[in-house]
């Protein structure tokens, strides 16, 4: 007992260190690669530092800007599309009797139960017939598919926590069903809906497989650019792309966090 008591702070510290290394080690390596001009095998650290690869990446013809624009555009479109479907679906499911709801929710999860690759290959085959391959719409659709599952699940959870008597009170005092939904139900479910949006957005930002089969080569997103760079052994370009990829994710999360905080505070009260 005593030994464990003495060792436990040290053990805990060590454990935290290992976890930190596992989490941040690759990120650190990434940061090193982003600013390395020369880094060959026996050297532990890069032998030349600089920004010349940044210049190469951001050259107008290198495609980084287009990819970034595509990535963000596709992510926002996927959020809008998924939420447009998930909000009514989630509300309907939340107001269902439980057994029926569970069956439908499980059905929704079913696509996720299969391996991604065959699903995307088949989607690509279908989209090819419809002429959606290589179009932004096709990529948005393929990004919305996994996002929709999360979105519907989270939205259902968010709507089912809304106290029904709040809606009834609004109806009772003269609000139409639509007015009640917009004025009472939606604001109550907002934190959950925002959380669902984050999921879809982040899922879309680093979606690779679907984009690869449906979008490439016409549509390039940052993950595709990164893949090409890594496969070509150009770790600098890959690392820089990865860092750029962080910008929309972090930005979106900061914005959402502001909303979430204000809302949660007003709800929990002081």
Q: Is the peptide bond before 217 cis (omega within 30 degrees of 0)?
A: yes
Cα 112 to Cα 106: distance, rounded to the nearest angstrom: 10
For residue 156, the minimal CB distance to other proteins (Å) is 20
- Which residues are CB-neighbours of 159 under 8 A, at least 6 positions away? 90, 91, 93, 94, 95, 185, 189, 192
Count of residues of this chain found to bind other proteins when the rule CB under 8 A is applied: 23
223 closest CA partner among 248, 193, 190, 256: 248
Candidate ranges 17-25, 47-55, 109-117, 182-190; the one touching other proteins (CB under 8 A)? 182-190
Q: Is 99 in the site for other proteins (CB under 8 A)?
A: no
Q: Is 270 in the site for other proteins (CB under 8 A)?
A: yes
Site for other proteins in 236-265 (CB under 8 A): 263
Quick check: 36 and 26 in contact, CB under 8 A?
Answer: no
* Phi and psi torsions of 258, nearest 5°: -60, -45
Q: Is 37 in the site for other proteins (CB under 8 A)?
A: no
Between 43 and 172, name the residue whose CB sits nearer to other proteins. 172
Between 60 and 269, name the residue whose CB sits nearer to other proteins. 269
For residue 167, the minimal CB distance to other proteins (Å) is 9
Q: Is 226 in the site for other proteins (CB under 8 A)?
A: no
Between 191 and 248, name the residue whose CB sits nearer to other proteins. 191
Between 59 and 171, name the residue whose CB sits nearer to other proteins. 171
- Which residues are CB-neighbours of 144 under 8 A, at least 6 positions away? 78, 81, 82, 85, 200, 204
Between 115 and 174, name the residue whose CB sits nearer to other proteins. 174
What's the Cα-to-Cα distance from 249 to each of 30, 142, 207, rounded to whole Å?
A: 17, 19, 13
Between 36 and 94, name the residue whose CB sits nearer to other proteins. 94
Sign of the C-alpha dihedral, residues 60, 62, 65, 66?
positive
Candidate ranges 43-51, 116-124, 180-188, 237-245; the one touching other proteins (CB under 8 A)? 180-188
Q: Which tokens go with 26? A: 């690759």
Q: Is 172 in the site for other proteins (CB under 8 A)?
A: yes
Q: Is 161 in the site for other proteins (CB under 8 A)?
A: no
């Amino acid at each position: 007992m005593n030994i464990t008591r003495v060792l436990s702070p040290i053990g805990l510290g060590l454990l935290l260190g290992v976890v930190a290394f596992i989490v941040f080690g690759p990120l650190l390596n990434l940061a090193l690669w982003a600013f390395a001009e020369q880094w060959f095998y026996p050297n532990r650290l890069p032998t030349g530092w600089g920004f010349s690869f940044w210049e190469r990446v951001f050259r107008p013809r290198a495609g980084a800007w287009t990819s970034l624009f595509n990535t963000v555009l596709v992510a926002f479109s996927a959020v809008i599309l998924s939420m447009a479907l998930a909000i009514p679906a989630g509300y309907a499911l939340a107001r269902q009797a439980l057994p029926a709801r569970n069956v439908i929710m499980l059905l929704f999860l079913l696509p996720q139960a299969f391996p991604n690759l065959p699903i995307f290959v088949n989607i690509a085959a279908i989209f090819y017939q419809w002429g959606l391959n290589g179009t932004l719409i096709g990529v948005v659709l393929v990004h919305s598919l996994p996002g929709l599952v999360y979105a519907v699940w989270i939205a259902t959870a968010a709507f089912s926590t809304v106290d029904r008597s709040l809606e009834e009170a609004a109806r009772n005092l003269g609000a139409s069903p639509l007015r009640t939904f917009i004025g009472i139900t939606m604001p109550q479910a907002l934190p959950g809906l925002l959380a669902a949006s984050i999921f879809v957005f982040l899922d879309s930002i680093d979606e690779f497989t679907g984009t690869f089969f449906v979008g490439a080569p016409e549509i390039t997103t940052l993950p595709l650019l990164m893949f090409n760079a890594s496969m070509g052994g150009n770790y600098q370009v890959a690392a820089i792309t990865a860092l750029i990829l962080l910008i929309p994710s972090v930005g979106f999360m900061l914005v959402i966090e502001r909303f979430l905080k204000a809302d949660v505070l007003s709800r929990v009260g002081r």
